[in-house]
Amino acid sequence: MKTGIVSNSALCLPLLHYLKTQQEQLAVFSAENTPPGQGAVASFCAGAGIPCTHANGNKQALYDWLALQQPDIVFVIGYSHKILTGRFTTGSPLLFNVHMGHLPAFRGPNPVFWQLKKGASSLAITIHCITHQFDAGEVVWKKEYVNEPFFNYGYVHQLMSHHLVEGVHYIMQLKKQGQPVPSTAQNEQQAAYFKQPVAADVCIRWDTMRATEICDLIKACNPWNGGAITSYNGIEVRISDAEKLPAANTSQPPYPSVPQGPSGTIIHTQHELLVACLHKEVLKIHTLTVNGIPLPGRFAIHYGFSAGQSFKNL
């Protein structure tokens, strides 16, 4: 059985390594936006001796590759174009898309960002059949796990790239045994589509976001965006690590009585950087970045952050 892998990112590398160790017959199509032969996917394949074809910006290249390689089963792990099964010149292989999120609740090109920003109680990696509509095919495998406080965008993608091996192994074993792959239709009444995040989606809104929502946004923006964006005295600041401080803490030493202010107001800078949020919540900022320089929150007073001053919406 020949397995095809279509991918535009390094997320497929743990899977390729596993399939190579299992001596599976492989063919890879690199959809990376890099010159031919370059990029994480192409470089790995070159070192591992796996045949790899580069898209090179040509939409037709995928269909030519499928016609040439004739894989029995194909897993797509990141591809920016709709795959039109009607364009196959030979028999259609089993086509599966890997989606790094819950379906149908988090359809779209960047589900990890939106799951983290929305504070979803759990995250999921889903494998589904490819149809004429993005992310709408029947689900054949799903792994769900708790959205932990220590998660961030980069770590979740790494975690999912390893979980993916489990899902592909499950589907390939069924195929080898000649068994059908069970599938479940998505509930269209629960469907929601999220586009790629834009600038406004990564900025803190002090007037509408609670402390927990700010922390969720920070998780969604690390490390790719360097944190969630705000402004201080007209300068762009990125907050890359923070937590909601339990209310009881603000009534104990070293701050026996922390004055509150409008959301975004700095209320404490002695060894900790504390900021007032909506509903009298307090955000404790551990790390922020100014002009590309990471600054520990405990030293914020030395960098010009003063109690009574405020962070603003950008």
pLDDT band at 258; cut points 50, 70, 90: low
Give the pLDDT of residue 255: 54
Tokens 């499928």 locate to 66
Rounded CA separation 40/12 (Å)? 9
pLDDT band at 256; cut points 50, 70, 90: very low
Give the pLDDT of residue 85: 77
The proportion of the chain whose per-residue pLDDT surpasses 90, expressed as a percent, equals: 84
Residue 259, pLDDT > 80, answer no
For residue 38, count other CB atoms closer than 10 A to its CB. 13
Amino acid at position 169, single letter: H
Residue 257, pLDDT > 90, answer no
Segment 269-287 mean pLDDT: 94
Please give the mean pLDDT across all residues of the chain. Answer: 93
Amino acid at position 222, single letter: N
The proportion of the chain whose per-residue pLDDT surpasses 70, expressed as a percent, equals: 94
- Domains of the chain, earliest start first: 2-190 (3.40.50.170), 199-312 (3.10.25.10)
Over the stretch 188-241, which tens digit does the pLDDT of each residue have?
999 999 999 999 999 999 999 999 999 999 999 999 999 999 999 999 999 999
Give the pLDDT of residue 46: 95
Segment 16-26 mean pLDDT: 96
Structure tokens at 135: 């992310």
Residue 251, pLDDT > 90, answer no
Cβ proximity of 163 and 156 under 8 Å: no
Segment 35-47 mean pLDDT: 92
For residue 208, count other CB atoms closer than 10 A to its CB. 10
Rounded CA separation 206/278 (Å)? 8
Give the pLDDT of residue 58: 81
Structure tokens at 272: 């900790």
Burial of 277 (0-12, 13-18, 19+ CB in 10 A): buried
Cβ proximity of 243 and 215 under 8 Å: yes
Cβ proximity of 175 and 74 under 8 Å: no
What pairs with residue 122 in β-bridges? Answer: 146
ω into 104 cis (within 30 of 0): yes
The residue count for the chain: 314
pLDDT band at 23; cut points 50, 70, 90: very high
Whole-prediction pTM value? 0.93
Main-chain phi, psi angles of 237, to 5 degrees: -130, 140
Segment 10-39 mean pLDDT: 94
Segment 155-184 mean pLDDT: 96
Over the stretch 65-111, which tens digit does the pLDDT of each residue have?
999 999 999 999 999 888 887 777 666 778 999 999 999 999 999 99
